[in-house]
């Protein structure tokens, strides 16, 4: 079955179709395997061969196209998970906990299907090279990735795999699969904007059940899962780890650091310092498996059970496990619909549950509530809307990221970095010299620095430019956007991507965020340039307000929609006003890209954040502990183009 999207995004009709999958090498194949007598020679070779199924961020047997493909086409399948230092070092302790629970369940699920999960430690390319030789594998299947580091690892594995299988008659390559949400034959067919996507009748692919998995039929040491403590030692004891003094910086939030700084200052305090570590009681069969007790985890069935509880929030329940989920919903609903990603986001990022499985379950429940129908006026439950909106949004940004990696038509190479499960775009120019990071202003994105990147790089620098979460083609999740959140994003980007202290340049709100970053984590910044920065310098300030919890209201809801209408209708003039002297910089491409991004899912959530920004903390207070050089360029002459 396939779901067809009508011009109205909430109206869906069912059409029957054959189930097929999109892969690379070959591009298309059918799940139903032909008999060996009728199959061509190449297909018979595959049926007699051994395939390695390399798990990464797809920790499930349910709705797993790679597993379905391997089971249909190969005599023997070896599921593999590699504890690779380079990949694990990106995970927080909480995600590592979630990972171990998911792998334990995956190993159990595969055993139920007469298979197992092979556990290995080391670099992926070396582990796979040794395993290919050990099992005489003729194929390696793994999920397609969009993150730069993951793609680099896959390319290293591809080179190794090609070398170790070079003796075979036909060239071998890694087969990359994906879990398609929309049945697109070619990424070129992806509409330019989300608004256009909603107007097209693009079929949605239904999830698959777990197939019968061919046993490995090999004498292998399947290995054991590590304890959490051993895993931490393994990560910290390898050559790829980040500086320990830097990774520890990620353990404390910007808000807590700022609160302590304010308390230490001899100023009056307007607010109470509250602990974020309230004790909570967890049930024996709880799906909140991590120490924080704030995110859903475990195996696929456990997460599906939590999803069922989430969707049925309005019905109430007498079940203890469902009531626990309902309690967490109330705690996590910082704004309408935000609880879904807060609870299920990490599980989706690890692939414990596929996005299209969430969509399928949400639509199925919605139809159960409405006698088999879907209303053209919206969903009958806010939790259904939250789940559907979240996974559809995630799919859109993933497709845009994938297209940017395959069909890059911009002026600069675009890379993808994943931050807390969200996809962030960035670029880098130059391969030597001091590190410089450019941070754009509100409503902008990394391409606003397109005329500056090469010039700064030619001066003997390595230059990074980033598109902050909520802007451009970076993801726009349903969260509360704050200046502190963006400062934490910059901190993690410098630690995980740049890897050394930076010279930081910030424009507009990006300048204020850069000042927070430099003030709270001064060891990560060498110097700071503020270009037409938001915020004020207040000599002799007498009081500093503590950060307060951000909540949306009816006024912010209305204000965001009015602002969006104004921006869409006036975007050309607004951009040209930024470049009154060199008007050619406000070209058609820049204006069209800003207009395109205004139709992205989640843009209204970002605009609502404008009304809760806290710019009241003086820049001189933020930077009083920063010992690097600071250059402030504040231009008021309308004829100037110094605003980047």
Topology, domain 47-180+225-233: Rossmann fold (3.40.50)
Residues in the chain, overall count: 644
For residue 270, give the nearest of 17, 614, 40 by alpha carbon: 614
Q: At how many degrees (to 10) do helices 93-112 and 300-311 cross?
A: 110
Average pLDDT, stretch 523-544? 87
Alpha-carbon distance 295 to 343, whole Å?
5
Average pLDDT, stretch 590-599? 93
Alpha-carbon distance 558 to 60, whole Å?
41
Q: At how many degrees (to 10) do helices 509-520 and 483-493 cross?
A: 60
Render pLDDT for 181-229 as a digit per residue (tens, 0 to 9): 888 878 888 898 998 988 887 888 889 888 888 887 778 999 999 999 9
Q: Which residues fall within 8 angstroms of residue 484, CB to CB, at 6 or more apart?
A: 253, 254, 255, 258, 516, 547
Q: Is 226 exposed, middle or buried (0-12, 13-18, 19+ CB in 10 A)?
A: middle
Please give the residue that has the higher pLDDT: either 238 or 111: 111
Contact 512, 250 (CB under 8 A): no
pLDDT number for residue 304: 97
Domain boundaries, the chain: 47-180+225-233, 300-394, 410-550+612-633
Weakest mean pLDDT among 270-284, 309-323, 405-419: 270-284
Which CATH code fits 410-550+612-633?
3.40.50.1820
The greatest distance separating any two alpha carbons of the chain, rounded to the nearest whole angstrom, comes to: 87
Strand 268-270 with 543-545, pairing: parallel
Same CATH fold assignment for domains 47-180+225-233 and 410-550+612-633: yes
Alpha-carbon distance 644 to 642, whole Å?
6
Tell me the pTM: 0.87
Phi, then psi, of 544 in degrees rounded to 5 = -125, 120
Render pLDDT for 575-588 as a digit per residue (tens, 0 to 9): 888 887 888 888 89
Alpha-carbon distance 604 to 63, whole Å?
32
Ramachandran quadrant class, 472 (left: phi over 0; alpha: psi -120 to 50; beta: rest): left
pLDDT number for residue 23: 34
Confidence at 95, pLDDT banded by 50, 70, 90: very high
Confidence at 11, pLDDT banded by 50, 70, 90: very low
Strand 2-5 with 12-15, pairing: antiparallel
Render pLDDT for 141-169 as a digit per residue (tens, 0 to 9): 999 999 999 999 999 999 999 888 777 66
Q: What residue spans of 191-319 are helical by DSSP H?
A: 194-199, 228-236, 244-247, 254-264, 300-311
DSSP code per residue over 316-381: --S-HHHHHHHHHHHHH-SSTTHHHHHHHHHHHHTTSS-HHHHHHHHHHHHHHHTTT---TT--SS
Distances in Å between the alpha carbon of 380 and those of 290, 315, 323, 430, 537?
32, 12, 21, 52, 49
DSSP state of 23: B
Residue 28, H or E segment:
strand 28-30
Contact 17, 180 (CB under 8 A): no
Render pLDDT for 292-350 as a digit per residue (tens, 0 to 9): 889 999 999 999 999 999 999 999 888 989 999 999 999 999 888 999 999 999 999 99
């Amino acid at each position: 079955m396939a779901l067809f999207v009508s011009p109205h995004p909430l109206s869906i009709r069912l059409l029957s179709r054959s189930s097929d999958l999109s892969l690379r090498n070959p591009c298309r194949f059918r799940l139903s395997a032909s008999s060996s007598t009728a199959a061509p020679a190449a297909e018979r070779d595959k049926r007699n061969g051994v395939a390695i199924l390399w798990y990464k961020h797809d920790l499930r047997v349910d709705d797993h196209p790679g597993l379905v493909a391997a089971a249909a086409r190969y005599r023997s399948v070896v599921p593999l998970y590699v504890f690779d230092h380079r990949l694990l070092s990106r995970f927080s302790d909480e995600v590592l906990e979630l990972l171990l629970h998911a792998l334990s369940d995956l190993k159990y699920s595969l055993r139920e299907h007469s298979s197992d999960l092979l556990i290995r430690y080391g670099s992926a390319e070396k582990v796979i090279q040794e395993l290919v030789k050990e099992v005489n594998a003729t194929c390696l299947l793994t999920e397609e990735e969009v993150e730069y580091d993951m793609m680099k690892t896959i390319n290293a594995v591809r080179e190794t795999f090609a070398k170790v299988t070079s003796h075979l008659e036909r060239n071998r390559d890694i087969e990359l699969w994906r879990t398609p949400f929309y049945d697109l034959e070619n990424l070129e067919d992806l509409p330019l904007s989300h608004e256009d996507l909603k107007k097209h009748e693009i079929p949605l692919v239904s999830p698959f059940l777990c197939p019968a998995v061919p046993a490995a039929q090999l004498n292998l040491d399947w290995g054991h899962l590590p304890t959490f403590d051993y895993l931490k030692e393994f990560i910290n004891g390898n050559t790829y780890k980040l500086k320990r003094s830097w990774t520890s910086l990620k353990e404390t939030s910007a808000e807590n650091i700022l609160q302590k700084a304010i308390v230490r200052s001899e100023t009056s305090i307007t607010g109470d310092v509250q602990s974020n570590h309230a004790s909570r009681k967890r049930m024996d069969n709880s799906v909140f498996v991590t120490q924080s007790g704030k995110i859903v985890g475990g195996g696929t069935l456990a997460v599906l059970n939590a999803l069922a509880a989430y969707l049925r929030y309005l019905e109430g329940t007498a079940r203890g496990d469902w009531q626990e989920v309902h309690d967490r919903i109330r705690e996590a609903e910082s704004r309408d619909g935000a609880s879904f990603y807060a609870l299920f986001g990490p599980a989706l990022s690890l692939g414990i549950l596929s996005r299209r499985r969430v969509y399928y379950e949400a639509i199925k429940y919605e139809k159960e509530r409405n006698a088999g129908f879907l209303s053209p006026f919206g969903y009958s439950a806010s939790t259904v809307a939250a789940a559907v909106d979240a996974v559809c949004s995630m799919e859109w940004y993933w497709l845009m990221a994938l297209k940017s990696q395959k069909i890059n038509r911009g002026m600069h190479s675009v890379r993808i970095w994943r931050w807390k499960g969200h996809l962030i775009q960035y670029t880098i120019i130059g391969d030597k010299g001091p590190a410089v990071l450019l941070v754009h202003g509100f409503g902008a994105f990394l391409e606003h620095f397109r005329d500056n990147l090469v010039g700064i790089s030619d001066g003997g620098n390595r230059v990074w430019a980033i598109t902050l979460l909520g802007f451009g083609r970076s993801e726009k999740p349903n969260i509360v956007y704050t200046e502190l959140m963006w400062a934490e994003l910059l901190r993690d980007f410098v630690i995980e991507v740049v890897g050394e202290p930076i010279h930081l340049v910030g424009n507009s709100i990006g300048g204020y965020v850069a000042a927070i970053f430099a003030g709270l984590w001064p060891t990560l910044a060498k110097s700071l340039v503020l270009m037409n920065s938001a915020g004020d310098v207040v000599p002799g300030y007498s009081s500093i307000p503590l950060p307060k919890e951000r909540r949306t209201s009816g006024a912010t809801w209305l204000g965001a929609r009015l602002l969006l209408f104004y921006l869409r209708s006036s975007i050309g003039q607004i951009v040209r006003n930024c470049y009154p002297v060199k008007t050619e910089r406000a070209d058609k491409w820049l204006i069209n890209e800003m207009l395109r991004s205004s139709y992205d899912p989640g843009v209204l959530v970002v605009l609502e954040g404008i009304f809760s920004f806290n710019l009241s903390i003086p820049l001189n207070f933020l930077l009083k502990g920063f010992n690097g050089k600071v250059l402030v360029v504040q231009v008021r002459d309308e004829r100037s183009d110094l605003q980047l």
